[in-house]
Each structure stands twice: as structure tokens, then as C-alpha cells.
């Protein structure tokens, strides 16, 4: 009998070791929630993130929520029901995810806010670019291109198109640009002929190209049809810049080249830059954003410190560690990793080829996605 009991206990021990080993061996599961596929960059983000995590041995669930907040809530709820170990979310509405963020907190599922901050304290971590700097680069580009610092008595007419007010980034982009230009507006060197300089007046729901187009057409018809010169139009990203450039082409009678800014390096906008319909874009290497996100996720899931020391794991990716700029609620700051954006114009398009994410077309004139 004794022999049987000791054999039985040995069997239980072997089985429990196997179960623990198998539990440890089961790949960690990450949920990746992207906002939409209708805005070009998120297709790249989703692909890079999924590939990076799978290559590192994780199981990755990737969803796109068609720019519908309710769908994103359902997508994240479903991921949580599938027992994921970590959430990576680019929010459609930074204030629209409270129910699922509260559930993630209850179930102790860590959340990385990806690119766009989420206004809920369940979010401890934020990986993005320095969004204020993105806008600042756009404002500085206009300042330099018009040589505003040496304008003397010359005045310039310009307009603004900002992003989606539900997107926490949009305010940072607009403020970064406006803070560069507001002094020139105040002293009359820059005249915003439409008078629209408030973020809510110039914001574009869902970053929609069509919405940006129709607003720009209205402004051109109302304020520039009398021959008033338009010198610049500051757009916070490429999808809105595409609409503004189309309006200028169809509804602006002036023969001067209008400075148009953008962000993201969307293929159609890079064509517009070659063709002179857009002047610059602020490029954000989203492949690098995925690298940083993976390293942060690995540290979180392994219980390693999530602090400035992680930057050593990012290779040659330039990134700042920040714990005082982005808060999810008053006094609750996210541990943030902020990558560095790059200005791209027709003079340095080769940079996008050199980093391996784009290629020249057969005639070496336009860039294509790789």
C-alpha cells in the first residue's frame, strides 16, 4: 500500500511540474487595438506591431475598429475575454474607453497607450512621438519658409486645419504649431483671413480628408475669391493636408505656391510633395515605435523595471523617457517613451528609402510603400 501511495505522490509531482512548465511555456497573449485602416499609417503600425510581437514569441491579436469608438470598446472587451496578458491601444476617442479600461484594471491587465494617450488611470504606459514637437516642426517650417523673422512690413495670409478633437494628440499638434506662429499673428505679420484660429474652429472630425476639403473650399470661396493671396495652410497631418491641397488646386485662383504642411508620410502626400502641392510632412518612423512598444511590453510582462534603463534596449532608435508631460488624470502621469520625428521635404525623400520603409518607383520620381 505504501508503495502505491509513494508512486501516486510521485505521479502528482511530475504532473504538476508539467502543468507549471506548460503554463510557463504557453506564449503570452497581447491584444493590439488600432483605430482604423482608412488612415494609412495605422495599417503600417498594426503590421509592424503584430510582426514584432510574433517574432518575439508572443501570440498577437490585432483589431481595427473602423474609427468607431463603440466598436473599439467591443474589440477590447473581446480581447479581455480571450484572456490576454497585455493591451496595446491607439484610441479613437481618448475619453471613450473607460468601461474597458476599468475592466482591464480589475483584471490586472496592463495597458500601453500607443501613439495616442488614453485619459484613464488604468493606463500606466505611453509610447508615442513628442507630439508637441511634431506641431512645433510644422510651425517652424512655415516661419522659415516665409522668413517671418525678417518680414519687415510684409504680411502673409495663412489658414489652419487641425485634427480630430477626440484624438488627444490633435491638441498637442495644433498647440505646438500655433505657439510658434502666435507672436506673428499678434503683431500682424501673419493674417488668418478667415479669423479661424481656435482649435475647435479648425479641428477635423476623424481626420477626414473630405471634411478638410469642404472646409477649405468654404474658406477659399468666402475669403480668397476676391484675389486675396494665400501664402500658407498649416495642416496637422497628411489626410487633412490631402483635402486642403485638393481645395487649393480646384478653388484657389492665385498663381503662387502655397506652403502646405502635413504629418505621416502617406504615399499620396509624398506624391503631392514631389508635385509641389504639399511642401513638407513630419515623418514618424512607426517601425521604431513598434520596436519601443515591444521592449516596454517585454519589461512589463517579465516584471522588469519599466524606466529610463529600457532605452538601452532600443538600439539606434532615438527616444526620450518622460514621466512629467502626459497625464491620464490630474496628477497621474503615464510613464512615457517619446520618439523623435523628422521633417521630410522634396529635398530629403531619399531618407525614407534609406531607412528601408519606402522605395522609388521605376522612374525614380515617386515613392512607393515597401
Q: Per rule CB under 6 A, is residue 237 in the interface with ligand GAL?
A: yes
d(CA 44, CA 47): 5
Q: How far is CA 216 from CA 13, 29, 222, 248, 250, in A?
A: 72, 45, 10, 8, 11
| Number of residues binding to ligand GAL, judged by CB under 6 A | 11
Q: Per rule CB under 6 A, is residue 115 in the interface with ligand GAL?
A: yes
Q: Which residue from 167, 231, 289, 295 is in contact with ligand GAL, where contact means CB under 6 A?
A: 167
Q: Per rule CB under 6 A, is residue 281 in the interface with ligand GAL?
A: no
358 has which bridge partners? 369
Residue 14, CA atoms < 13 Å, CB-side half-sphere: 6
Parallel, antiparallel, or unpaired for β 332-333 and 111-114? unpaired
Shortest separation between residue 109's beta carbon and ligand GAL, angstroms? 23
Q: Which residue from 65, 263, 281, 335 is in contact with ligand GAL, where contact means CB under 6 A?
A: 263
The interface with ligand GAL within residues 13-52 (CB under 6 A) comprises 39, 41
Query: Helices (H) and strands (E) in the chain — how many of each?
Result: 12, 17
Q: Per rule CB under 6 A, is residue 207 in the interface with ligand GAL?
A: yes
Among 312, 320, 316, 313, residue whose Cα is nearest residue 356: 316
- Alpha-helical runs (H) found in 93-237: 98-106, 131-145, 168-186, 199-202, 209-223
Q: Per rule CB under 6 A, is residue 277 in the interface with ligand GAL?
A: no
Select 239 or 335, whichever has its Cβ closest to ligand GAL: 239
Shortest separation between residue 39's beta carbon and ligand GAL, angstroms? 4
* Stretch of 152-160, 161-169, 225-233, 336-344 contacting ligand GAL, by CB under 6 A: 161-169
Q: Per rule CB under 6 A, is residue 93 in the interface with ligand GAL?
A: no
Percentage helix, strand, coil, to 5, in the chain? Answer: 45, 20, 35
Shortest separation between residue 258's beta carbon and ligand GAL, angstroms? 21
SS3 13: helix
Select 157 or 246, whichever has its Cβ closest to ligand GAL: 246
Q: Which residue from 130, 264, 289, 295 is in contact with ligand GAL, where contact means CB under 6 A?
A: 264
Select 148 or 287, whichever has its Cβ closest to ligand GAL: 287
Shortest separation between residue 113's beta carbon and ligand GAL, angstroms? 11
Shortest separation between residue 41's beta carbon and ligand GAL, angstroms? 5
SS (H, E, C) 214-269: HHHHHHHHHHCCCCCCCCEEEECCHHHHHHHHHHHHHHCCCCCCCEECCECCCHHH
Q: How far is CA 77 from CA 80, 102, 115, 278, 314, in A?
A: 5, 11, 20, 40, 31
Select 56 or 355, whichever has its Cβ closest to ligand GAL: 355
User: Which residues contact ligand GAL by CB under 6 A?
Assistant: 39, 41, 115-116, 163, 167, 169, 207, 237, 263-264
Amino acid at each position: 500500500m505504501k508503495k502505491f501511495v509513494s508512486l501516486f505522490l510521485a505521479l502528482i509531482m511530475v504532473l504538476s511540474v508539467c502543468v507549471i512548465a506548460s503554463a510557463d511555456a504557453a506564449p503570452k497573449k497581447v491584444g493590439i487595438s488600432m483605430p482604423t485602416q482608412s488612415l494609412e499609417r495605422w495599417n503600417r503600425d498594426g503590421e509592424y506591431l503584430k510582426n514584432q510581437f510574433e517574432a518575439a514569441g508572443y501570440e498577437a491579436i490585432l483589431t481595427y475598429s473602423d474609427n468607431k469608438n463603440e466598436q473599439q470598446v467591443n474589440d477590447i472587451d473581446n480581447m479581455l475575454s480571450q484572456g490576454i496578458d497585455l493591451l496595446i491601444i491607439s484610441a479613437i476617442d481618448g475619453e471613450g474607453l473607460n468601461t474597458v479600461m476599468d475592466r482591464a484594471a480589475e483584471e490586472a491587465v496592463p495597458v500601453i497607450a500607443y501613439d495616442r494617450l488614453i485619459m484613464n488611470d488604468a493606463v500606466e504606459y505611453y509610447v508615442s512621438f513628442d507630439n508637441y514637437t511634431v506641431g512645433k516642426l510644422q510651425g517652424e517650417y512655415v516661419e522659415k519658409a516665409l522668413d517671418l523673422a525678417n518680414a519687415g512690413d510684409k504680411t502673409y495670409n495663412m489658414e489652419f486645419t487641425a485634427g480630430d478633437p477626440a484624438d488627444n494628440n490633435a491638441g498637442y499638434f495644433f498647440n505646438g504649431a500655433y505657439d510658434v506662429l502666435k507672436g506673428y499673428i499678434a503683431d500682424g505679420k501673419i493674417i488668418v483671413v478667415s479669423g479661424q484660429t481656435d482649435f475647435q474652429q479648425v479641428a477635423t472630425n476623424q481626420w477626414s480628408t473630405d471634411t478638410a476639403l469642404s472646409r477649405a473650399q468654404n474658406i477659399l470661396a468666402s475669403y480668397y475669391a476676391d484675389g486675396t493671396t494665400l501664402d500658407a495652410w498649416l495642416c496637422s497631418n497628411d489626410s487633412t493636408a490631402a483635402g486642403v491641397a485638393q481645395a487649393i488646386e480646384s478653388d484657389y485662383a492665385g498663381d503662387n505656391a502655397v506652403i502646405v504642411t502635413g504629418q505621416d508620410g502617406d504615399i499620396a502626400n509624398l506624391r503631392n510633395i514631389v508635385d509641389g502641392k504639399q511642401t513638407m510632412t513630419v515623418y514618424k518612423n512607426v517601425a521604431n515605435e513598434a520596436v519601443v512598444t515591444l521592449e516596454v511590453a517585454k519589461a512589463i510582462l517579465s516584471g522588469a523595471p519599466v524606466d529610463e534603463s529600457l532605452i538601452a534596449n532600443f538600439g539606434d532608435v532615438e527616444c526620450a523617457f518622460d514621466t512629467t508631460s502626459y497625464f491620464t488624470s490630474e496628477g497621474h502621469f503615464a510613464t512615457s517613451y517619446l520618439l523623435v520625428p523628422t521633417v521630410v521635404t522634396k529635398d530629403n525623400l531619399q531618407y525614407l528609402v534609406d531607412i528601408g520603409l519606402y522605395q522609388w518607383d521605376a522612374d525614380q520620381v515617386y515613392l512607393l510603400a515597401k
